[in-house]
Structure 1
Amino acid sequence: MPDAPLQLSVLIPLYNEDESLPELHDWIVRVMEENGFSYEILFMDDGSKDRSWAVIRELGRRNPHVRGIRFTRNYGKTAALQTGFQTVRGEVVITMDADLQDSPDEIPELYRMITEENYDLVSGWKQKRYDPISKTLPTKLFNAATRGISEVQLHDFNCGLKAYRQDVVKNITIYGEMHRYIPVIAKWNGYSRIGEKVVQHQARKYGTTKFGLERFMYGFLDLLSIAFVNKFGRRPMHFFGSLGTLMFFFGSLLTVWLIGLKVYNIYTHQPYRNVTDDPLFFIALTVIIVGSQLFLGGFLGELLVKQSIHQTGDYLIADEVDHQAGMLVKKD
């Protein structure tokens, strides 16, 4: 008889957090046992240089519910989460940071919101933070910009404490520094039932933060990237073709105007100079060439997208009815 599916997977990406891991592990185990959850804890060691991996191995020997994966070098939090998402087995997936600033006591309510309130994803909101203003102020600006661009109304996109239905994490792909935008990516993949829960934020107990201010610049660039890819990734001609056509039309119009001006001056016996002596002619020529290249780029992009869809067919299916077989296959 097959084993019953796990209720919860707790996915913890980490880098140099050996001091906090035993305490975090014991805290999670206490919460799981108090609530009677079947669970696994997956530690994703992102190339730590301290004793983090030795601690994870020891925790695995003590607790069969503990699993660990170690990267050969530091790839970043997004890589750790993406690899973990493809590995977890629980029906509900909880992600949290390893620095003890996320409270495992929040897990039961997050699990309830997914299973009973039917959310696809629930994001934590650290309404009261114990971080310096050099971190909280850029975070507020970052969150406001993300809400404006994505139209996902969350207060705290960067909170590491989140809960997901398993099929959400199995059907999204993140890369670069896009872990901050998982709710945005999930919504754009059709998982629109996104909730938010105020969660407790605790001051860091051990070590120092592994992120600098440059993460906000990289994060903003990633936001623009995923916004563009989501809108035009499957229809590049709509962007490049439209822009190229407008530029070609403007350059052609400017060229016709210059030629018409010369003809008019000839017939009216006014002084004139050759069209090629006018700087506007070269501006018009440049605009025409760039417009043609953009249009061609959009056309080639359309061919590549068509070929990719034909090969992979990677559209997400929510439900399927097979009348011939007399059955309904429910995907969610």
Structure 2
Amino acid sequence: ELVLVDDGSTDGSREKLQELAQRDRRVRVVLFRRNFGQSAAMAAGFEHARGRVVVTMDGDLQNDPADIPALLEKLDEGYDVVSGWRKNRQDKLFVRKVPSWLANRLICSVTGVKLHDTGCSLKAYRREIIDRIRLYGELHRFIPALARIEGARITELPVRHHPRRFGKSKYNITRTYKVLMDLLTLNIFLKYERNPLYFFGWLAILSLVAGLVAFGGMAVQVWNGSADPGVMNVLLTVTFVLLVSGVQFTLLGLVAKLIVASGDRRLSYLVETGRASRGRGALRAASAT
């Protein structure tokens, strides 16, 4: 099958895609009401794809569909994710290549996934891996890192890359900022996804300790009889705010923990052979065969 996602285009692509779907039952089309972004488009493609293996690529044909069989062969070697590597990238040096290289180094450093080209959209995934990945923001470029959380075996393969022939690149400084913010989010997500109370717990401890220090400073001034009314008012306010913040961070962590526990219906594990048993309220995890 071929799943084509139209992300709110206005250039007549929707009509062309619908014509293709009418002529060939293997073509499935997903039409967005407006532009929701690449992560949403990929999430929709994952949801509508029915195969045990899913291959993604952009519609500008800079990646070559002829490389897909090589990706599938690599999957057959036992990998769960095969990422394309645009080794001979056909893009402008300072506009795309250098920023992408810097971003790739940063992403690899934060996520621990060692790939030469995390931004290449030509990738092959096993169904049981992508079924456990949730995409939002600009997280599509971090799928290998999200897959790594699930224990996926990841590798890369050099693929061809052609000069851009259609349309214009949407990458700009605004998207770079969004990527950096999503990378920060991902870093926190990788560490505290299962128990956000650990993250908020550290904030609570820091606030409480700082509040106790401020209270100690206030007590010392009172003990020495050198308390200045203006300074005391400031210390009292700071102490109150910090102590209350510590309590609030603790409660926020508990609420976040409850949300994760009640809202995440995925199994907490993924088996390599056989089939994972169905837990209470959990989704079935397909076997990796």
What TM-score, normalized to structure 1? 0.76
| Structure 1 runs not aligned, ≥5 long | 1-39, 323-328
* Residue in structure 2 matched with residue 295 of structure 1 by the alignment: 250
* One-letter amino acid matched to 1:140: W
* Residue in structure 1 matched with residue 99 of structure 2 by the alignment: 138
Assess, with a 3 A threshold, how the Cα gap between structure 1 residues 98 and 303 changes in structure 2: closer, same or farther. closer
Report the Cα distance in structure 1 between the residues aligned to 2:170 and 2:260, rounded to whole angstroms: 38
* Residue in structure 1 matched with residue 137 of structure 2 by the alignment: 176
Deviation at 1:169, TM superposition (A): 2.0
Report the Cα distance in structure 2 between the residues aligned to 1:90 and 1:313, rounded to whole angstroms: 20
User: Greater Rg, structure 1 or structure 2?
Assistant: 1
* Residue in structure 2 matched with residue 41 of structure 1 by the alignment: 2
Provide the identity percentage. Answer: 34
Report the Cα distance in structure 1 between the residues aligned to 2:230 and 2:34, rounded to whole angstroms: 60
* One-letter amino acid matched to 1:187: R
* One-letter amino acid matched to 1:243: L
Deviation at 1:107, TM superposition (A): 1.0
Superposition RMSD in Å: 2.3
Deviation at 1:96, TM superposition (A): 1.0
* Residue in structure 2 matched with residue 317 of structure 1 by the alignment: 270
Counterpart of 1:210 (choices 164, 170, 179) is: 170
Deviation at 1:80, TM superposition (A): 1.2
The 5 A counterparts of 1:264-303 are 265-266=224-225, 272-274=227-229, 277=232, 279-303=234-258
Check the 8 A contact 1:262/1:275 in 2, yes or no: no
Deviation at 1:114, TM superposition (A): 0.6
Render the CA deviation track for 1:213-248: whole Å, top value 9, x for unaligned. Answer: 322211121121122123223312211122212321
* One-letter amino acid matched to 2:247: S
| Structure 2 runs not aligned, ≥5 long | 278-284
Q: Secondary structure at the match of 1:159?
A: coil
Assess, with a 3 A threshold, how the Cα gap between structure 1 residues 274 and 331 changes in structure 2: closer, same or farther. same
Report the Cα distance in structure 1 between the residues aligned to 2:62 and 2:112, rounded to whole angstroms: 28
Assess, with a 3 A threshold, how the Cα gap between structure 1 residues 313 and 107 changes in structure 2: closer, same or farther. closer
Give structure 1 regions of 4+ aligned residues with deviation exceeding 6 angstroms.
Answer: none
Q: Secondary structure at the match of 2:48?
A: coil
Check the 8 A contact 1:171/1:316 in 2, yes or no: no
Check the 8 A contact 2:270/2:276 in 1, yes or no: no
Report the Cα distance in structure 2 between the residues aligned to 1:157 and 1:247, rounded to whole angstroms: 37
Report the Cα distance in structure 2 between the residues aligned to 1:102 and 1:231, rounded to whole angstroms: 33
Report the Cα distance in structure 2 between the residues aligned to 1:302 and 1:64, rounded to whole angstroms: 45
* Residue in structure 2 matched with residue 163 of structure 1 by the alignment: 124
Report the Cα distance in structure 1 between the residues aligned to 2:188 and 2:133, rounded to whole angstroms: 17
Report the Cα distance in structure 1 between the residues aligned to 2:213 and 2:196, rounded to whole angstroms: 25
Deviation at 1:330, TM superposition (A): 7.4
Assess, with a 3 A threshold, how the Cα gap between structure 1 residues 297 and 139 changes in structure 2: closer, same or farther. same
- 1:256 matched to 2:209? The reply is no
Deviation at 1:78, TM superposition (A): 1.1
* Residue in structure 1 matched with residue 280 of structure 2 by the alignment: none
Check the 8 A contact 2:208/2:246 in 1, yes or no: yes
Deviation at 1:281, TM superposition (A): 4.1
Counterpart of 1:63 (choices 20, 24, 47) is: 24
* Residue in structure 2 matched with residue 306 of structure 1 by the alignment: 261
